[in-house]
Chain A
Amino acid sequence: QVQLKESGPGLVQPSQTLSLTCTVSGFSLTSYHVHWVRQPPGKGLEWMGVMWSDGDTSYNSALKSRLSISRDTSKSQVFLKMSSLQTEDTATYYCARDHWVYYGLLDYWGQGVMVTVSS
């Protein structure tokens, strides 16, 4: 069955770079797009960016200067790197699979990984 699982450090110091991994199973990264979405504690959802199935990427312009998404198809993994972290980047980070017909529609989500930015 389709599964996505995020992993990464729970605590990052301010100004440092966040590195997260999304490991997927039950589908191929060369057939489906994978998005990153984050949610600050008690707040709403923010779309961050997407790894398209062809290897291209798109980013939220609000984060573009700090964000990089890449992948290793042989390991079924999508990576997120975000630099210059600040306390407002404290959030649960999710990866989610794109619906195969409707771009941007997120039909399967990982459990999320909570990241706290603090010294």
Chain B
Amino acid sequence: DIQMTQSPASLSASLGETVTIECLASEDIYSNLAWYQQKPGKSPQLLIYDASSLQDGVPSRFSGSESGTQYSLEINSLQSEDAATYFCQQHHDYPYTFGAGTKLELK
């Protein structure tokens, strides 16, 4: 199985700041990487696909990038509504696997 190592497990940031979350794939996943946002008691929502493509309706302060097998989610100009848990997911090969999640708290 492809392992997705996500970091950090949690972070705290202030409104207006920029944060970065990373996922390291255990092998090449050819940009088949998605990022999801999950708020408490809600289902995950797709933010980014194909490593860097923004899903319709997602604010442009969210962006994704890649370098080899390392994938990053950047959130600029943090808003209060960005407090959530973020997961990466590889959909290159079975079983599709997720990172352990990053809980983002707003100070």
The chain A residues found within 8 Å of chain B, CB to CB, are 35, 44-47, 58, 60-62, 94, 96, 99, 102-107, 109-112
Given A102-B32, A104-B32, A109:B43 Cβ within 8 A: yes
Residue contact A107 to B98, C-beta cutoff 8 Å? no
Residue contact A105 to B95, C-beta cutoff 8 Å? no
Q: Give the CA-CA distance A46 to B97 in the complex, in Å.
A: 7
User: What range describes how many residues of B lie at the interface?
Assistant: 20 to 34
Residues of B within 8 A of A105 (CB): 32, 34, 46, 49, 91
Is B18 located at the chain interface by the 8 A CB criterion?
no
Residue contact A110 to B43, C-beta cutoff 8 Å? yes
Residue contact B95 to A61, C-beta cutoff 8 Å? yes
Interface residues of B in 23-39 (CB under 8 A from A): 32, 34, 36
**Which residue of chain B is the closest to A46 with respect to CB atoms?**
B98
Residues of A within 8 A of B64 (CB): none
Q: Give the CA-CA distance A61 to B97 in the complex, in Å.
A: 12
Residue contact B44 to A47, C-beta cutoff 8 Å? no
Residues of B within 8 A of A47 (CB): 95-98
Residue contact A44 to B87, C-beta cutoff 8 Å? yes
Residue contact B44 to A102, C-beta cutoff 8 Å? no
Other-chain contact of A106, B46, B50, B97, B99 (Cβ < 8 Å): B46
Other-chain contact of A44, B45, B50, B95, B100 (Cβ < 8 Å): B100
Q: Give the CA-CA distance A44 to B9 in the complex, in Å.
A: 11
Q: Give the CA-CA distance A99 to B87 in the complex, in Å.
A: 17
Residues of A within 8 A of B32 (CB): 102, 104-105
Residue contact B44 to A58, C-beta cutoff 8 Å? no
Residues of A within 8 A of B100 (CB): 44
Residue contact A44 to B101, C-beta cutoff 8 Å? yes
B5 to chain A, nearest CB (A): 12
Instruction: Digitize B84-95: 1 where CB-to-A-CB distance is under 8 Å, 0 elsewhere.
Output: 000101011011
Residues of B within 8 A of A94 (CB): 43-44
Residue contact A106 to B34, C-beta cutoff 8 Å? yes
